[in-house]
A = this chain, B = another copy of it.
């Protein structure tokens, strides 16, 4: 890709685990030397929010002092997508050069890209013509070790800031849960057709009424060696380029040719 000289970049950082999560702290650490970082993140965890936006309640926005040293940081009561919208419209004085979301505590590979607040924030930025990357570590733990993640986040962002990215540039990056020296490198992949085979845990409340918790077992239905799930199983960092045009062009052509009610 072509190299491009720029003024010091503005880096918008957000996430879906909330502004106090260790993952966003690692993301800030990883990129703070690469540009002027501004953090706008939810004031509480917002996992599984998908591309939700807040319509029914007013949004609040407040500056948080000293949470990431001298770096400007804001929290909102909104979703990850709201954070990006608020950052662009109310906080930043110019469009950021890149938006980074994460580092998520837990995988966002395969079909999870659709449920993920981390990736939805990144996608929102890409829709707004801000090149964007979502980062996720395959470790749900609050005590997850982000050492390898920080190394690769820095490497990836540094490399991309030197290039001319398309304005809708969007990547879904997942990092395997292994120490830095066991990571085999970076692999560009397609999204696997792999998903949770869901079930509901049925319980009874003290008044005798049923309630349900969503549970599930992860299953990979995709045997390809070009998928994010394959790469992660083989200790690669998976990078899936993502688009927000959801049109199924194959089915479009089929319907145009064969659908008798057109």
Contact = CB atoms under 8 A, between A and B. Distances in A.
Interface residues of A, number: 77
Contact of A259 (B159, B195, B252): B159
Given A123-B114, A193-B245, A247-B243, A262 B61 contact: no
Interface in A187-225: 187-191, 193, 195, 198-200, 202-203, 209-214
A48 B58 contact: no
Interface in A226-262: 239-252, 254-256, 258-262
Given A50-B120, A255-B188, A256-B188, A210 B61 contact: yes
A51 B51 contact: yes
A142 interface: no
Contact of A86 (B54, B200, B249, B262): B200
A53 B50 contact: yes
Contacts of A187: 262
B59 A52 contact: no
B170 A58 contact: no
Interface string A83-94: 001100110000
A248 B48 CA distance: 23
Main secondary structure of the interface of A (DSSP, over half): mixed
Nearest to A111: B127
Contacts of A53: 48, 50, 115, 214
Nearest to A77: B211
A146 interface: no
A240 B252 CA distance: 7
Contacts of A258: 1
11 contacts: A1-B258, A50-B81, A52-B52, A53-B214, A85-B200, A86-B212, A159-B259, A166-B251, A187-B262, A190-B252, A246-B246
Given A61-B210, A90-B212, A113-B246, 5 more contacts: A51-B115, A85-B200, A86-B212, A241-B249, A241-B250
| 8 smallest beta-carbon distances between A and B, as pairs | A50-B51, A241-B251, A243-B248, A58-B211, A50-B50, A241-B248, A59-B212, A190-B247
Interface of A: 1, 45, 47-56, 58-61, 81-82, 85-86, 89-90, 111, 113-115, 120, 123, 127, 155-156, 159, 166, 169-170, 185-191, 193, 195, 198-200, 202-203, 209-214, 239-252, 254-256, 258-262
